[in-house]
Amino acid sequence: MATILLACVVACVAAETVVQPDHADDDALCGMLSRSADPGWGRWRIYGSATQERTLRQAEAKCQQGHVDCCRSAGVVYRERVVAPEVELAKARKLLGAACEMEDGEACRQLAVMYASREGGVGSEAEASEYREKAALWLGTSCRIGDARACVQLANACAGRAPSCAAGRGLAPCDRALSLYRAYCVTGDAEACRSLGSLVEEAKQCAGEAAAGDERCACAEQLRAVEEAEVVAAFRRACDGRDGHGCVELSRRYLVGAPGALQSGGVAASTFERACTLGVGEACVILGWAYAKEEHGVDAALSAAVPKDLLSAAKLFARGCEVGDGYACWELGRAYLAGRGFRADRGQAVEYLRRACQDGVDNACEDLVKLGATLGVSGQ
């Protein structure tokens, strides 16, 4: 399932605080939108298209006023949305470009990735290289004055082989990227740890001609040499640092008994629960399926580690839906429809099935058709 998207009225999931877009001051809106677009905070979502569009319009207006956080964050949101991909990717390029011109290194890095992979059919390697260099320049400056987050983002840029990453250090870009990830992960930087572990996992999938043009595979050779025990340690540090996605990856390693993670369905279950609490809807769904004894490819060790408990399953689905996971909303709708865990309530069932359908879950749309309910999506 997909991991990253936008929060209703720009919600900060981990802190359980909400800022209403119409009344938020500039710093609150830009800052909260920035954090909600960070993968470590779980998915982002705005419930209701009117609220979603209003929030993004506000962010774009503040971008025009020079608020770099809003330029970058709105650009990231548009890049991730799938409502009208070509139009939204064009908006993403414009907003990220504005932030890059304001010397925001992470925005430059995002643009480099977009152009390198020709998202929306636009871009070239020459343009990607230009933005990689800008990213390395601005992030390098911030990193040198002690900005840990900039150092981690610099590592991401170096993983794309920006030549200036190695300037004066005697290290190739990929080697410098690994050096930065390791240095900041050891200090407990959750984002650095998650990035290190995730990039090693992605490197394992890099093979053939298709991988040759994929920026995520730029450092595959060096990353594949990283020992699995180091990956496990990185995800453990990320999870300890309240990074939900780090907890999910750590859980998976407890299920298979990876080096440094003794096989244990019980520990995996508690770690999935922590990830769910931290706002990762995928973790809520996986653990909910285990409690409900649903198939869905749930690991046998995880299923055996928890009892059949439909109420616990329904509560997990509710939590996942709350943080914007479409599959969680689908399962919650099904629970209300069948009276599993919660008292049967057709109205509630339709509401959550419709929410899942709007989030792209085809099974939920099919269930709505069977119920004779409207889909609630544009044009239907």
pTM of the model: 0.71
The pLDDT assigned to 28 comes to 58
In this predicted structure, which of 178-192, 211-225, 255-269, 333-347 has the lowest mean pLDDT? Answer: 211-225
Q: What is the pLDDT of residues 213-243, one digit of tens each?
A: 566 677 888 888 999 999 999 999 999 999 9
Q: How far apart are the C-alpha atoms of 321 and 73, rounded to whole Å?
A: 23
What tokens were used for 152? 């981690």
How far does Cα 76 stand from its chain's mean position? Answer: 11
SS3 track for 107-149: HHHHHHHHHHCCHHHCCCHHHHHHHHHHHHHHHHHHHHCCCHH
Mean pLDDT of the chain: 80
**pLDDT > 70? residue 365:** yes
Cβ neighbours of residue 121 under 8 Å, at least 6 residues apart? Answer: none
pLDDT greater than 70 at residue 26 = no
How confident is the model over 259-310, as pLDDT tens digits? 999 999 999 999 999 999 999 999 999 999 999 988 777 899 999 999 999 9
Q: Give the pLDDT of residue 3.
A: 34
18 confidence band (pLDDT: 50, 70, 90): very low
pLDDT of residue 10: 29
Strand, coil or helix: 11: strand
Does the pLDDT value for residue 378 go beyond 70? Answer: no
- C-beta separation of 340 from 334 below 8 A: yes
* Predicted confidence (pLDDT) at residue 346 exceeds the cutoff of 80: yes
Summarize pLDDT for 114-167 with one digit per residue, the tens: 887 788 778 787 888 888 888 888 888 888 777 777 888 788 778 766 666 765
Higher-pLDDT residue of 108, 253: 253
Q: Please report the DSSP string for 286-312 in residue order.
A: HHHHHHHT--TT--HHHHHHS---HHH
SS percent in the chain: helix, strand, coil, step 5: 70, 0, 30
Interatomic CA distance for residues 371 and 320, integer angstroms: 23
Q: Which domains does the chain have, with CATH numbers?
A: 1-102 (no CATH), 114-226 (no CATH), 229-306 (no CATH), 325-380 (1.25.40)
Question: Rounded to an integer, what is the distance from CA 152 to the centroid of its chain?
Answer: 16
- Going by C-alpha positions, the residue among 79, 137, 58, 147 that lies closest to residue 104 is 137
Taking the alpha carbons at both ends of the chain, their separation in whole angstroms is 25
Task: Return the residue matching tokens 């020992």.
Answer: 227
